[in-house]
Amino acid sequence: MFSKSLLLGIVSGLLAGIAGVVYARVYHSSLGADFSKVAPAIRIIVSSLFGGILAAVGFTLLDKIGKAKGEIVFNLLFAVISFATLLAPFAVKLPLDLEAPELFPGMVIPMHFFPALAWFTLKPLFIKNR
């Protein structure tokens, strides 16, 4: 079970990272706000991958502990934790040479949901429902 969820976590994390990088590029070209200094492509991908692997560990644990209800609890937790992490972009203090820091949350907030979105989308391909 863990190998399947780990694979799902890695794949969904990578996809979320790629989606994040693409979104950052689109954001930069459309609004002119360049935050590549604080959120470079590699950091976006590694963070998303970390989120995916963490989700895999959490899913496996909750599936073992909660049995049939484990997935429900996991889905709820994944969504709630994704929401909770939104506080970070609002609180972060960027280097002063970066202009328009008010545009930073607009770039990274959607990215915080990409790992969960990728996980929920790809899960039926990797783990069948009981």
Partner 1 sequence: MNKLLYPLAAVLILTGSAFTFIAAQTWQISDGYSIAFSSDDASGIFKGFKGTVAFDEQNPAASKFDVTIDVATINTGNGLQNKHAKSDEWFDVAKYPQIRFTSQKIVKAGNGYQVMGDLEIHGVKKPATIPFSFKKTATGGAFAGTFTVNRNDFRLGKPGGDVGEQIKLDISVPVTK
Pick the closer one to partner 1 by CB: 4 or 28. Answer: 28
Q: What are phi and psi of 69, to 5 degrees?
A: -85, -5
- Shortest Cβ 87–partner 1 spacing (Å): 11
* Residue in this structure with the two tokens 């989120």, named with its chain if needed: 51
Query: Minimum distance between the CB of residue 99 and partner 1, rounded to whole angstroms?
Result: 7
CA distance linking residue 24 with residue 18, whole number of Å: 10
The two tokens of residue 6 are 């780990």
Q: Which of positions 66-125 make contact with partner 1 (CB under 8 A)? A: 90-96, 98-105
Asked if 35 is part of the footprint of partner 1 (rule: CB under 8 A), the reply reads no
Q: Which is nearer to partner 1, 26 or 100 (CB)?
A: 100
Q: How many residues bind partner 1 (CB under 8 A)?
A: 15
Q: Please tell me the distance from the alpha carbon of residue 74 to that of residue 1, in angstroms, as a whole number.
A: 15
Site for partner 1 contains 37 (CB under 8 A): no
Q: Quote the CA–CA distance of 62 and 54 in Å, as a whole number.
A: 12
Summarize as ranges the residues that interact with partner 1 (CB under 8 A): 90-96, 98-105
